Structure 1
Amino acid sequence: MVILFAPSEGKKEGGTHPALSPDKLIFSELYSKRLDVIKQYEDVIRNGNNEALFELFGIKDTKEYERYRVPFSSAPTMKAIERYDGVAYDYLDYQSLSSESKEYLDVNVILFSNLFGPIRSGDFIPDYKLKQGAAIGAFAPDKYYKEHFSVALNDLVGDQEILDLRAGFYDKFYIPTKQTTTLKFLKEGKVVSHWAKAYRGIILRKVAEHQIRTIEELLALNIEGLFLNEIVETKKKKEVIYTIV
């Protein structure tokens, strides 16, 4: 099973692994395409004024800008799934998982970085900041990655089932050509957003702990705090609706 997952606006600093290189990322044959994005990003950081950096980062604290001026050619890296630091990642709590569960996530989860595009969660990336949906100058990374990486992603998926745990925004990066399974979370009859992030992290943790290989196995899981309410299925999507209890 291939699991699609969103990144997080928050990131941990530092890293203990060498700088970014083609062998650290999936689809190394497309590394030159990633470099096209990276070069434009680093050009804005080197030459852009505070207004341009605000548009890029989405933060107004100019002192914080210095954190992101380290060139990727020398910046240390860490696993992407450890780099991201948001609600879903807090509830996933990757560090506390067994080595077997970590390996499962490293291989089976594809993250959609706003800067680096589709990467495995076990790929190594540097610290960076790019506001969701932000253009790099006049360049739109989401459209670029969708154009150049969709075929490679489809080949990677092959005959495997897809669990899509991304927020809807990340359809801009990739829409699978086969049916996907998505999750919706309701509380008191209303769709939730913050708790959706939390439960995506919780479910991803359960999936890793149980080494889930099919959607059928996922649906058989008993997840504390969730009641399987309904499954709505179309040709393109199977939507699993949970009620938070």
Structure 2
Amino acid sequence: MLKILFSPSEGKKSGGREKEKDLFGAPNARKEILDAYNTVVLSGNEEKIKQLFGFKKFGECRSYINDIYNSPLMCAIERYQGVAYDYLKYDELNENAQEHLKNNTLIFSNLYGPVLGGDVIANYKVKQGNTVGDIAPDKFYKERFSYQLDLYLGGHDILDLRAGYYNKFYKLTQPHTTLKFLKNGKTVSHWAKAYRGIVLREIAKAGVNSLDDFMKLEIENLQVHEITEQKLKKEIVYNIIE
């Protein structure tokens, strides 16, 4: 089976409707960091709250000031809003494609750590790189989840579509494939997010279950330029042709 590693987004949809259920990993593995988050969010300390959320004005914080344990829940793959998710267009996919994403996408959240696309999470705010109380999320999850992720991903094909920052949460120790996008011979950065979303969308639409199937997938405006291999990593370099 093909498992896809994906990044979260700063933006999120509000609300929710899903019932609470266990998240990826051991029960209570996140309790320490979620408790720390709640302590800050419910403290009434405007400066600490602004710092955690990454906002300059306290008025921007109000919609996120909720008890994390008593907030509406939504599937992670639906919760996030941002460039990659705008191009994924999850809501426009059919049920089979949506289920494919829920079951085979691992998103690396700045609060919840690694969650499956179908895992339900609250509407939260943690600016990338910020600590939660005294806890650094990347170190917290690398220590607690690396072994579980190794076990979960073992024997599967892996497509790593994460932004580089999220390697801090989990370093792959088995063969995997990454993508790189070129336009006019130059590596794109911001628009790489868009094309990661497009790639994930096409995988879901086609029900791709293996790396071999992915290599056969034709994606509009993308043409394979070269494929490089170094130790455990295979990198597919695409030219963007528009």
TM (normalized to structure 1)?
Answer: 0.94
What secondary structure sits across from 2:208 in the alignment? coil
Q: 1:144–1:48: structure 2 CA closer, same or farther, 3 Å change rule?
A: farther
The residue aligned with 2:15 is: 14
1:54 to partner: Cα distance: 2.3
Q: How many aligned positions are there? A: 240
Paired letter, 1:26 = F
Cα separation, 2, equivalents of 1:230 and 1:73: 47
Output one character per residue of 1:165-209: Cα deviation in whole Å (capped at 9) or x when no partner.
000000011112101100000111111112101110101011111
What secondary structure sits across from 2:139 in the alignment? helix
Aligned-pair identity in percent equals 49
The residue aligned with 2:68 is: 72
The residue aligned with 2:23 is: 25
- RMSD over aligned CA atoms reads 1.2
Cα separation, 2, equivalents of 1:139 and 1:115: 10
Structure 1: 5+ residue runs without aligned partners? none
Whether the 8 Å contact between 2:160 and 2:177 is mirrored in structure 1 is yes
Cα separation, 2, equivalents of 1:137 and 1:117: 16
The residue aligned with 2:139 is: 143
- Please give the residue correspondences for 1:1-245 in structure 2 after superposition, counting only pairs within 5 Å: 1-18=2-19, 21=20, 23-27=21-25, 30-47=26-43, 49-245=45-241
Output one character per residue of 1:58-86: Cα deviation in whole Å (capped at 9) or x when no partner.
11121122212211222110111110001
Output one character per residue of 1:96-134: Cα deviation in whole Å (capped at 9) or x when no partner.
111111111100000000000110001111100000111
Cα separation, 2, equivalents of 1:212 and 1:47: 46
Cα separation, 2, equivalents of 1:189 and 1:208: 29
Paired letter, 1:125 = I
Q: 1:132–1:165: structure 2 CA closer, same or farther, 3 Å change rule?
A: same
Cα separation, 2, equivalents of 1:48 and 1:240: 48
Cα separation, 2, equivalents of 1:195 and 1:68: 28
1:9 to partner: Cα distance: 0.4
Paired letter, 2:223 = F
What secondary structure sits across from 1:25 in the alignment? coil
What secondary structure sits across from 1:181 in the alignment? strand
TM (normalized to structure 2)?
Answer: 0.96
Paired letter, 1:25 = L
What secondary structure sits across from 1:26 in the alignment? coil
Structure 2: 5+ residue runs without aligned partners? none
Cα separation, 1, equivalents of 2:28 and 2:120: 17
What secondary structure sits across from 2:69 in the alignment? coil
Whether the 8 Å contact between 2:42 and 2:67 is mirrored in structure 1 is no
1:50 to partner: Cα distance: 2.5
